[in-house]
């Protein structure tokens, strides 16, 4: 699993305000850890606009819908929750996501 990959992930055991259901998410954990750990860290996406920096970032179109990374939804998930790949973020979008994560977490 490569950092920046957009995957389907099952978040169905969530309770509000956590994001639930099967939805696209972006793998943000490091490439060195992803192959060896049973989990990855993801940022879920939503098709609901607008972009609100640094909490919600427009990351393009995935699953035929506009996608916004929901930064506060960052979470660790077991790989068995992953349901397939949808694509990858561009280098520019991944850098923008990193900027949002840094601003949100610091």
Listed by start position, the domains of the chain span 5-105
Specify the residue for token string 């280098």.
91
Provide the whole-model pTM.
0.92
- Whole-angstrom Cα distance, residue 18 to residue 47? 15
What rounded mean pLDDT belongs to the chain? 92
* Contact between residue 98 and residue 92 where contact means Cβ atoms under 8 Å apart: no
Is the pLDDT at 94 greater than 70? The verdict is: yes
What value does the mean pLDDT take over residues 53-65? 94
CATH for the 5-105 domain, from 3.40.50.150, 3.50.50.60, 2.60.120.260, 2.30.30.110 = 2.30.30.110
- Whole-angstrom Cα distance, residue 69 to residue 100? 10
* Contact between residue 3 and residue 37 where contact means Cβ atoms under 8 Å apart: no
Spatial CB neighbours of 79, under 8 Å, sequence gap ≥ 6: 1, 38, 39, 40
Q: In percent, how much of the chain has pLDDT > 70? A: 93
The whole-number pLDDT of residue 15 equals 57
């Amino acid at each position: 699993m490569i950092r920046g990959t957009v995957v389907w992930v099952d978040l169905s055991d969530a309770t509000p305000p956590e994001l639930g259901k099967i939805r696209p998410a972006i793998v943000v954990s490091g490439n060195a850890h992803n192959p060896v750990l049973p989990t990855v860290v993801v940022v879920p996406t939503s098709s609901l606009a607008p972009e609100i920096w640094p909490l919600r970032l427009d990351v393009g179109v995935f699953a035929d819908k506009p996608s916004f990374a929901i930064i506060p939804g960052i979470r660790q998930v077991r790989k068995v929750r992953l349901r397939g790949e949808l694509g990858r973020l561009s280098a520019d979008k991944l850098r923008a996501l990193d900027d949002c994560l840094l601003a949100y977490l610091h």
